[in-house]
Structure 1
Amino acid sequence: MSAFTGTGRLARLVLRRDRIKLGAWLLGTPLLGFALAGSVSEFYPDEATRLSYADTALTSVVARAFNGPIFNAELGSIVVAEAYLTLTLLAALVSTFAVVRHTRQNEETGRAELLGAAVVGRHALLAAPLLVVVGANVAAALLLGLAFAAAGLPLAGSLAAAGAVGGVGIAFTAVAAVAAQLTVTSRGANALAAATVGVAFLLRAAGDVLGERDGLQLVSAWPSWLSPLGWGNQVRAFGAERWWVLGLPVVLLVGATLAAFGLARRRDLGAGLLSDRRGPARAAAGLLSPSGLLWRLHRGSLVGWSVAVVVLGVSMGFAADEVNDVIAENPAAAELIAAMGGGVDDLVDAFLAAMLGVFALAVGAYVVQALLRTRADEAGGVLEAVLATAVGRVRWLATQVVGAVLGAAVLVLLAGLATGLGYGLAAGDPGRCALELGGAGLLQLPALLVVAGLVTALLGLVPRWSVSLSWAVLIGFLLLGQLGAALDLPQAVLNLSPYTHVPAVPAVEATTLPLVLLVAVAGALLAAGLAGFRRRDVPS
C-alpha cells in the first residue's frame, strides 16, 4: 500500500460533503465577476472617464493600497482594479477554510482516525482535499474568465485576470496545508491562514504604495513580489500580459505540499507541531458563568476584527477627502455614491454614510460567525455538558446573543470613530468628526439586531439548516446593499434588507421610527428562536 492509497475515494467524500458550498462558490464567483464588470462599464463608459480614473488610481495612495496597480486606461484594467481585491480575498479565504475543514478539523473531531482505520495511505488524508480545492479554483477561474468575456472584455485579458484570481486561491490552498500541520485546532489553523492572507495584503499594498508611476501604469516595488496577492496583479491582465507569473502559485503549491507531507510524517495524528501554551493551574472565577466563558472564547476574534475595522476605517476616512476629485468627471459614479449614501448631493457625506453601511454589513458577518459557534458546540457535544450544569437553555442561548450584539456594537462604534478620525485628520477637525461618525456607526446596531434575530430563529427552529441559511441571508443582504443601487432594483426588493431602513447619517438626519421598527422585528425573531430552542431536542 502506498502513501496515497485511497486518495480518489477520499476526494469523492470531500466533494460529497462540500457539494453545496463548492457549488455556491463555482456559481457565485462568475456571477459576481460579471456583475462587477457590468457595473464598472456603466460607470466608465468613455475614454475621458477612464483616463480620469487611471490618473486618480495612479496618484492616490489610498487607491494604490486597496485597488492595486493599474497598467492602462482600458476598461478591462479598470475592472481588474475594482474587482481584484474582492475576488481574490474570497478565493483565498474559501480555499483556506476548505482545506482546514477536511484536514485539521477531521483530526480534531476524530474523523481522520476513523478514516485511517480503512485502507488509506498516510498522505491521502491531505492529498484528497488539496486535489478538490485546487480543482475548484481552476474551475472557478475558467468560469470567471468566460464571465468577463461575456461582459464584453477581451478574451485573453479575461483569462489572464481569472487566472490571477485562481492563482491566489491555489497559493493559499498551499498555505492552509502547512497551517493544518502546525496547530492543534481547526480554529488555530484558520486563524494562522487568515493572518497570512492579511500579511500578504499588507505586503502587496506596501509594494504598490512605494511603486513608481510610468505614464499610465504603476511599476510595483519589491514587497509586492513577496505576496501571492501581488503576483496576481503582476500578471498585468488587459495590459501586456505576463503569463509566466501564473506559474508562481503552482511553484508555491508544489513546495508547500511537499513541506506539509514532510511535517505530517513528523507528528502524531491529532497533534500539531506548535505545542499548546500551558494554561494556569486554576481557572478564573469568571469562567464559572456563561458570560465569562463566552468572553474567553470570543475575545481573540473580537480583537482581530477590531484591529481590521480601525485600520480600514482610518483608510476610508482619508479616502473620503478625495471623493470629489475622484468622481468630478464621472456622473455615473457620483450617482451611485449618492444612492448608496441616502440620495443627497453632498458626495463626501454620502460616501461616509455608504462606508458606514459597508462596515455594518461586514460586522454582520461577525454576528453570524459568533452565533453559529453555538451550533458547532451543539454538534460537537459541548452543549450537552454545559446544560448538565445549573445553566438553562434559554439563559445559555440568550448569553450568546447578548455577547454577539455587544461585540457588534463595539465594532460599529470603532468603525465610526476610525472613519471620522481619518476624515478629520484630512479635513482638519478630527475630534468632532470622530464623535459624529461614532454616533452614526452606532445607528447601524438595530440592523445588526435583526441579523442576530434571524440567526437565532434559524438556530432554534431549523438547526440543521441554520449554518447555510444564515450565511445565505447575509450574502443576500450584502448583494442588496452593494449591488441594489447599481442594478436599480425595485424599492420593494431593497426593503427586504434591514440595512436599507437605517438612516444614512451623516448624509441625512436620523429618524427614530425605522430604528424602533427594526428593534421590534429583531425582538420577535429572538423570541421565536429562544422558544424554539427551548422546546427542541439537543442535539438536533
Structure 2
Amino acid sequence: MSTFTGTGHLIRFILRRDRLRMTVWTLSLSGMLAMTVPTLAEMFADPEQRMARAAVMATPTGIVFGGPGYGLDDYGLGAMVANEMTMSLLVALAVMSVLHVVRHTRAEEESGRAELLRASVVGSSAQMTAALATNALVCGAVGALLTLVMVGNDLTVADSVAFGGGIALAGVAFGAITAVCAQVSEHARGASGLAFLVVGVLFTFRVVGDVAERGGSAPSWFSPFAWAQQTRMFDDLRWWPLALYALLITVLFAAAYSLAGRRDLGAGLVATRPGPAGASPLLNGVLALHLRQQRTSIIAWTTAVALFALSFGTLVSEIDAMVEQNPELLGRMGLDAGNMADGFLGMLVLYVVMATVAFAVLSVLRTRAEENAGRAELTLAAAVGRIRWMGTAVLVSGLAATLMLLLGGLAMGLGAGLVTGDADWIGDVTAASAAQAPAVLLFVGLTTLFLGTAPRLVGLVWAWYGYGLVVTVFGILMDLPDWMLDAGPFQILAQPPAEEFDAVPFALVLLTAAAAVAVGLGGFRRRDLVSV
C-alpha cells in the first residue's frame, strides 16, 4: 500500500464536509474585491484625486497596510487596487489556510479520528496531502475569481492574472507553512498559534523592508507577503518573483512530509512538558482555569489590536489633505465638514470594535470546543456546576473583550495625539471606544444564548457580524438605504466623538446582552452535553 493510498477519497470527503465553509471564504474574498474596484473607480475618477490618494499610500502608515507602493507616480485604478487590496486579501487567505490545514491534520490527530482512518486502507501521507490539496483548490478558486473581477473592470489581463495568481500562490505557501508547524505541536491550538506566529513574523519582515526603502528592501524578500506585489503589477510587470512561491512551497512540502515520517501519530516533534506536581494558588478555581487557557490568545489579540489602532490613529493627520484634493470623499465617508477629524476617528473606532467582537465570539466558542472534546464533561463531573463553568468562561470573554476595546481606543488616541500634538485625543477616543462596549458584549450574549439553547444555530452570530462588517465598510460607499445600514450591529449606538453619547440605547443594549447571557446559561444547564 502506498503512503498516498486513499488521498482521493479524503479530498472528496473534505470538499463535502467543508463545502459551505469553502464557499463562504471564496465568495467573501472575491465579493469584497468586486465591491471595492468600482467603488474606487467612482471615488477617485480624476487624476488629481488619485494622486492625493497616492500621497497617502506613500506615508509609513500607507506602506504598512498597503505595501511597497509601485505605480504611485501615475496612480491608475489597477495600481490603486493592487496597493490597497493585496495585503488585506493575503492576510485573509493566510488565516483561511492556517485554519483549514490545522483542522484537517493536527486537529484530526488530536481528536483520535485520524487513528481510526489510518486503521483502514489509508496511507500515512494521505490526510496531509488531502488537506494541502483542498487548500490549494480553494486558493486557486479565489485567485481565479479575483482575476475575473479585475478583467471584468477593464483592467489589463496580464496584470490581473499576476494579481490573482500571486495571491493564490501565497495562500498555498501559507498552507505549506502550517503543514510544517502541525508537525511540531501535538495540539491543534499550539499548531495554529505557531503558524500564526510565523505568519506574523513574515508580515513584520515585509513591513520593515517596505518602510526602510521605497519599493522594498532586503528584508522584504524574506516574506511571501511581498512577492506578489514585487511582480509590480499595473506598473512594470515582471513574473519571476512568483517563482519564489513555487520554490518555497516545494521546500516546505518536502519538509512537512519528512517531519511527519519522523514522529508517531498523535505526537509532536516537541514533546509537551509535564506540569508541576502541585498547582499554583492562582489556579484555584474555574475562573483561573479559563483565564489560563485563554491567556495566550488574550495577549496576542490585545497586542495586535493595539498596534493596528495606534497606526490607524496616525492617519488623522492625512484627512484634511485627502478631502482638500477630493471634496466628494467627505460625503462618501459620511463625514461632516465641521468635525472631519472627529468623524474620521469615530469611524476608525468601529474597526477596533469589529476586531474585538471577532475575538469575543471566538473566545465564547471555546466552551463549545471544550464540550466537543469531552473536557467539559470531565470538569463538570467534579464539584463544578454548569452555570459556574459556563458563566466564568463568558465572564472571562466579556472582561477580556472590554479591556481589548479600551486599550485599542487608548492606542488610537495616542496615535492621533502624537501626529497632531493634541493630547486630548487620548481621552476622547478612549471614551469613544468605551461607548461601544455594549455592542461587543451583545455579541458575547448572543453567542452564549445560541450555545446554551441551539448550538447548531451559532453561525447566525457570524452571519450578523459579517453583515455588519459589510454595511459598515461599504454601506455609505455603495449608497445603501438607511434601513439596511441601521440593521447592522455597529450602527445601534451613537458614535462619539462625532456624535453625542446617548445613554438610552447604551443601557438597552447592555441589558439585552445580560438577558441573552442569562437565557443562554439557563439553556446550557438544561440541555445535554454533546461530544464528537
The question of a shared fold, defined as TM-score above 0.5 by the shorter chain, is answered with yes
Contact preservation (8 Å) 1:68, 1:81: yes
Equivalence for 2:44:
44
> Of residues 312, 320, 338 in structure 1, which corresponds to 2:334?
338
Q: Deviations over 1:320-345 (max 9, x none)?
A: 12221233211233323335xxx563
* Shift in CA distance, 104/274, structure 1 to aligned 2, threshold 3 Å: same
Q: Distance in 1 between matches of 2:166 and 2:337?
A: 38
> Which residue does the alignment assign to 2:373?
380
1:516 to 507, 522, 529: 507
The 8 Å contact of residues 156 and 238 in structure 1, kept in 2 or not, is answered as: no
Alignment of structure 1 residues 251-330 onto 2, 5 Å? 251-330=247-326
Letter in 2 for 1:495: D
Q: State the distance in 2 between where 1:152 and 1:112 align.
A: 47
Q: Does 1:66 align with 2:65?
A: yes
Aligned residue in 1 for 2:159: 157
CA-CA distance at 1:113 after TM superposition: 0.7
Matched, 1:496 2:492: no
Name the CA distance, whole Å, in 1 between partners of 2:56 and 2:421.
22
Q: Pick one of 403, 408, 417 that aligns with 1:410.
A: 403
444, 454, 459: which one pairs with 1:452?
Answer: 444
Matched residue count: 528
Give the whole-Å Cα distance in 2 for the aligned partners of 1:232 and 1:427.
35
392-401 vs 251-260, which moves further: 392-401
Given the alignment, which residue of 396, 409, 416 partners 1:423?
416
1:241 lines up with 2:237 in the alignment: yes
How does the TM-score come out when normalised to structure 1? Answer: 0.94
**1:177 Cα shift?**
0.7
- 1:150, 1:18 → 2: CA distance? 29
- Match in the other structure for 2:94: 92
Q: CA deviation at 1:366?
A: 0.4
| 2:457 equivalent in structure 1 | 465
Counterpart in 2 of 1:32?
32
Change (3 A) 1:290 1:151: farther
After TM superposition, give the deviation of residue 115 of structure 1 in Å: 0.8
Structure 1 residue 174 corresponds to structure 2 residue 173: no
1:153: Cα distance to partner? 2.6
Which TM-score applies when normalising by structure 2?
0.96
SS of the counterpart of 1:196? Answer: helix
* 1:361 alignment counterpart: 354
User: Is the Cα contact below 8 Å between 1:141 and 1:165 reproduced in 2?
Assistant: yes
Aligned counterparts of 2:89 and 2:508: Cα–Cα separation in 1: 35
Q: Deviations over 1:247-300 (max 9, x none)?
A: 222221111010001101111111111222332221123434221111011111
Contact 1:70/1:78 (8 A) holds in 2: no
1:371·1:401 contact (CA, 8 Å) conserved in 2?
yes
* Contact 1:344 1:507 (8 Å CA) reproduced: no
- Alpha-carbon offset, residue 147 of structure 1: 1.7
Aligned-pair identity in percent equals 38
Report the CA distance between 1:525 and its aligned residue: 2.2
Q: Secondary structure at the match of 2:524?
A: helix
Gap regions ≥5 residues in structure 1: 213-218
Cα shift at 1:114: 0.7
